[in-house]
Structures are given as structure tokens and as C-alpha cells.
A and B are shown apart, each in its own frame.
Chain A
Amino acid sequence: MSTAKTLFDKVWDAHVVRHVEDGPDVLFIDRHFIHEVTSPVAFLGLEGRQVPVMFSGRTFATADHNTPTLNQHLPVADPLSANQLAALERNATKYGISHWGLGHIKNGIVHVVGPENGITLPGMTIVCGDSHTSTHGAFGAIAFGIGTSEVEMVLATQCIMQPKPKKMRITVNGTLGKAVLPKDVILYIISQISASGATGYFVEYAGNVFEDMSMEGRMTVCNMSIEMGARGGMIAPDQTTLDYLKGRELAPKGEQWDKLVPYWESLKTDEGATFDVDLTYDAADIEPQITYGTNPGLGTGVTHQIPVAGTVKDGAASYKKSLQYMGFAENESMVGKPIDFVFLGSCTNGRIEDFRAFASIVKGRKKADNVTAWLVPGSHIVEAQIKEEGILDILTEAGFQLRQPGCSACLAMNEDKIPAGKYAVSTSNRNFEGRQGPGARTLLASPLVAAAAAVTGVVTDPREFI
């Protein structure tokens, strides 16, 4: 038998504390992120068992899912939300866990602040009670979302119990076309394999398209691995990864850094290692994308028409229900469809490169009168960069305002809800029914497609502006 290992095997196998006979592996967790929504019941469970947190230094708390994006200096108006934020602070303080709460200079979306502060490192196992934890796979970590019972498990024992998933490799080679961003690459892949096409698998992304991407682009790709059902996705660490991490506040320094570099450089799939599924796509086939349905697999090139039932993987009845919810019909063109809202932000596209891309199109233009735009940075660090780089001036000149960091309209837990029946072009990750507010209709897209829609008021091909 070949001893060649995949990147995923190398990281997984290094964390197996015990293999349970006819059962899962006991997997050690290096880093655990928690937030206000999925952690309170886990802490109640600890109290019920009278068990302490085993390694409080391995858990990091930030408030993001249920925080306002305006007037963060004022008390949180909704008493239930305020209660949840207070519970997070109380629990973090009680157990000695690092807490970047609302108003803290490091506060922001968990999957933005982890990497930008150097908490996320190659070769780690990382979990959080949030399915978009897959974001951290961009660094060559095994990172995935867990439920609240597992949050309690990690707090109590620093381990979870999981069967080892199957392995899938998705390779994209070639040259990306004009105005095609990492978001378009992942939306294209999901449209090809469907919203459940990678369920049961852990994905490795390979090929020159991912090798040439920035860390922020890789995070956008890995972030949406869950939207095709994969537990997570990962990309082998390389010089781009190390250059991004070096000097970050909580990243290893000096001798410790030097000792880790050879290990990190060994984290790549060996020649001859095999995958259960191996898929390859050509970069030249990828256009700027947009979704038209109610799951992330229902997307297409922005200049395309809405497909007819039978040509997509979803069953005809579900597909019809989806288009009915969206108020769309088969064969309609996406370009030219009127929109009401634009949302730039989320753990998928709330980083500085996303704001730079958005600004590149709105610069010197004006926001369309019929569009309400919510621009929400992923963290205070991103917010500061937006100001320092002069992007805020460009946005303001074009008629846009900047809000404060948080998950915001991506899941619409706070006040940022798209009204019923309205269309939103969103850079977030889910277009489910009601995801952005009861009755809201979401079109997922890249920051460039969102910017083009924001200045025209209709779905527009961003290549017209570049």
C-alpha cells in the first residue's frame, strides 16, 4: 500500500488522540472560536456537569452574529440580543477565555478576526459553532463548523469525535477572465456540483488558480465549501500563506516561527496520494456569477438565462418552488433585473480586498436612487484599512455609507433585514428562503457584481465597467 498522504490526511492523522473501534476518531482541537449565539447553552451544559474548561487558552470569543452595525457605542436596544452578548462576556470572564466583545478594537466577524490576528495557523484543527469555519482552511488547517453539543465537548475536553470524511480534490487551472473574482470561482464550482455535491467529503483545492490567489481570495473560496455540503475545504500552505501570517499579532515569532516553517512546508499532498473524487475545471469557463434560486448551487454566469428544470441537479418540484419564491421564470435573462438592496460584507466577502474591488467600480459614479446599500466591514481592522486607504472617501463621494462590523444582513439576526419581496445582491454566502429577512430574495455575487448593481440599480455585467 502506498504511504503517500494527502494534505488532509497529514493534518487529520496528527490530531487523532484515539481511534474508537467501530466508531469515530477522537480528534484534538488546536483552536476553538466561540460567539454569542451558539455558546450559551454549551456553558450551561458545563455548569450542569460541574466540569471546567480544559484549556481556556485554546478558545477565543468574539461577538458578531447578533450585534448592531450602527451606533455600537450605545446600549444594545433589543433585550434578548443584549442578554446574549452579556452571557458571552460573563462566560468568557468566568472561565478565563479571551473575549473581543462589542466595542473592542479587535472585534469583528469570527472568521475575519481569527486569520487577521494570526490565531489561525497551517496544520491546525479549528472548530467553531458556525458552519463557515471552513474559511480557515485557506491556511492549510482542518477547519469546520460544529453544533452546540460539540462546543460544550471542546470546552470540556478539547476534543471532538468525528468519523474521518472522504476526500475530494477540486483542481482549477488556467487564467481567470476579466472581473472574475475568487467568489465567482467558488460559485461556479457549486453550480457545477450542486448544494449537496460534496456532502460527506473534505475538499482540497488545487491548481494554479488557487496558488495564484491572495490569502483573502483563498478564504472566500474555502468559506463556501459548506455550501456544496463539504465539511470543509483546504489549500496547501505556501509562501503566500507565510507572508500573510508573518508578524501578525498572535502568530508565532522568532525562533518558534523558524521551527514551524519546515513543518508547514511539508503540508502538501504527496505525489501518488489518492482522493475518493477528483474534479477538474478550466478557469476560462468561469464568468462573473450570480445566483437566481434559493440554494447556492442555483447560480450561473451573469449574462446567462435562468436554466429550465431538468438541466439542473435539483428535482423539478423543488426547482419550481425555488423560482416561484424568487419571482423568476425559466429562460429569463438575469442581466437587467431590477434590484432593491446591495449587501457588501460577511465572512465570505467582508475583507479589505472586497472593499477595494467594490470601490474600483463605484469610484466616480453614483449609487442608483432605487438601491439601499449596506456596506459592512468584517472587523474594526478592516474598517480602519478602509479609512486609511481612502476607500471611505470614494464610497462617500458615490453616495454610500459605511456601517460597523458584524455578520449583519448575511443572516439577518440583528436589525439588518431585507424586507419581504425585495431583491438584494449580496456578497454573502446563502440565498435560502428568508435568510436575509422573512420573504427577502437574495442574489449571491462577487463584490464587483454587487458594485455594478449598486450603481445601475439592475443586475449588470461588471465587465462593462472594467
Chain B
Amino acid sequence: MAYDKFTVLRSTAVPMPIENVDTDQIIPARFLKATERKGFGDNLFRDWRYNNDDTPKADFVLNNPIYSDEGSPRKILVGGKNFGSGSSREHAAWAIYDYGFRCVVSSFFADIFKNNCLNIGILPVTISPEFADKIFAAIDADPNTELEVNLPEQTITLLATGESESFNINGYKKHNLTNGYDDIDYLLSMKNEIESFAETRPF
């Protein structure tokens, strides 16, 4: 399905400097029983966020009031190395989106998770480990520090200091995200070519 266009995003961020955040943590399997794509944000990071009796865990970042802005959810999640590893469940990306995030930043993403984000209009931004450390330190010093993610320019900037880094994305995906197009739109436009190709397959 088509999604919101992504151009320039300016937001405070939620820091999660933990390595190997797998998709079972992002959304545990027992919450994958829905047959529609809605409401997954309520169970985002469920077992890190809530105790067994459903009371919030005070020490988890999403429950920490210093990382919440009144009235509007933060739109940028900054994760540790190897973010989104494990299961291919797109529900993990849906949960992040449904909670309100539009951009995930990490020094290293797992492949399938990264694709899933791109396919639903979340921008995954890969930065150097050094810049990740700077961002974590900046948020640590001021939880309300703002980041700007500029997709047309392919830059991410710490607004307080002006420190900036560029990130990679291929031209095709960039075009899709900035216009809200998805791959199926593209593939359906080459239907005849695909059907001819299928004729050549030996099985």
C-alpha cells in the first residue's frame, strides 16, 4: 500500500543503545495473531516495556518521561548495532510505525528489517559508529536535543551543534520514499515483461 511521503524530518529522538535488538523484542510472537495491520504499537517492545502484570517498567526508555514530548510522539528511534535482527516479521516495522516513529537510526541494520522499513515508509538511516556515539552522548546531555533527517540531501544532523553525516540510499528507493510510491506500483507497470520472463523458466 502507498504510504506517507518522506522528505525532511525534524524531531527529538528516543535512544536505545543496545546491541542486537531482535524483532522478537520489538514485537513478541504471541502478538502476531492479528489478520489486519493495526494496533501493533501498543505491544511495541512489550516485554521490555511492561511487567507481567501489565504495569509499565519504570527503567525502560519508552516509559521514561524525559524522553516523551507532550502531545506528540517522538519520530526518531536511535538503536544500537545490529538493530532488527532475527525473524522477518514485518509486524516489527508496523509496531514501530504505529507507535509513531518514522525514522530508525543505527550504525548497523539487519537486512530484512531494513527492507521491511523501506517498504512501509519508515526511513532506516545507517550512520558511522562514531556519529552514533555522538548522537547518544548529545541525547544523554540534553534529552530534548533535536535531529534533522533530510532525505533529498541524504544527511542527518544534530541541530544543537550542526554536526552532520551523509547516509546512503539508492536512487530508486529514495524516489519511492519521497513520493510515497511502493515496489508493487513499479512491478505492476512491467506486468507483460514479467509474464514473458515466466515463460522461459524451466520449472
Contacts and interface: CB of A to CB of B under 8 A. Distances in A.
A124 B203 contact: yes
Given A146-B88, A195-B82, A438-B52, A157 B110 contact: no
Interface stretch (A47-55, A379-387, A444-452, A453-461): A47-55
A407 to B, nearest CB: 9
B33 A66 contact: yes
B190 A196 contact: no
Contact of A229 (B82, B170, B183): B82
Contacts of A252: 203
A143 B120 CA distance: 23
Contacts of A434: 24-25, 28, 47
Contacts of A259: 202
A260 B24 contact: no
A277 interface: no
Contact of B22 (A41, A144, A200, A432): A432
Interface string B8-29: 0000000001111010110011
Contacts of A260: 202-203
Interface string B25-54: 100111011111100000000010000100
Contact of A435 (B24, B52, B115, B203): B24
Contacts of B184: 45, 49, 51, 149, 152-153, 156-157
Given A161-B186, A195-B82, A147 B25 contact: no
A317 B21 CA distance: 13
Contact of B197 (A28, A144, A161, A432): A28
Contacts of A439: 47, 52
B120 A149 contact: yes
A44 interface: yes
B108 interface: yes
- Please tell me the size bucket of the interface on B: 35 or more
A397 B32 CA distance: 38
A147 B88 contact: yes
Given A23-B170, A434-B24, A157 B191 contact: yes
Contact of B20 (A44, A160, A295): A295
Nearest to A297: B20
Contact of B85 (A23, A30, A66, A196): A196
Given A37-B32, A161-B183, A147 B194 contact: no
Contact of A147 (B32, B90, B172, B191): B90
A84 B193 contact: no
Contacts of B22: 295, 430, 432
A158 B170 contact: no
Contact of A38 (B30, B47, B88, B190): B88
A343 B198 CA distance: 42
Given A153-B187, A413-B29, A413-B33, A432 B120 contact: no
A226 B195 CA distance: 31
Contacts of A20: 172
Nearest to B186: A161
Contacts of A17: 190, 193-194, 197
Contacts of B173: 23-24
Interface in B145-203: 170-173, 182-184, 186-188, 190-191, 193-195, 197-198, 201-203
Contacts of A24: 170, 172-173
Given A23-B171, A159-B187, A147 B108 contact: no
B142 interface: no
B110 A199 contact: yes
Given A196-B81, A295-B22, A150 B119 contact: yes
A340 interface: no
Contacts of A231: 111-112
A413 B30 CA distance: 5
Interface in A155-197: 156-163, 165, 195-196
B59 to A, nearest CB: 12
A48 B172 contact: no
Interface string A310-335: 00001101100100000000000000
A430 B24 contact: yes
Contacts of A276: none
Contacts of B93: 147
B57 interface: no
B73 interface: no
A374 B109 CA distance: 34
B37 A44 contact: yes
B43 to A, nearest CB: 12
A28 B198 contact: yes
B119 A149 contact: yes
Contacts of B116: 147-149
Contact of A295 (B85, B90, B201): B85
What 3 A-B pairs have minimum CB-CB distances, sorted nearest first? Answer: A23-B172, A22-B171, A147-B90
Given A54-B191, A150-B115, A318-B19, 19 more contacts: A38-B89, A38-B90, A41-B36, A78-B33, A123-B202, A130-B88, A147-B112, A149-B119, A156-B188, A157-B188, A196-B85, A226-B86, A295-B85, A317-B18, A318-B80, A413-B32, A432-B24, A433-B24, A434-B47
27 contacts: A28-B194, A38-B89, A40-B35, A41-B37, A44-B35, A66-B32, A83-B33, A124-B203, A131-B88, A144-B112, A145-B112, A146-B112, A147-B89, A147-B90, A150-B115, A150-B183, A153-B183, A158-B194, A196-B110, A199-B85, A199-B108, A199-B111, A252-B203, A263-B202, A317-B17, A321-B18, A433-B47
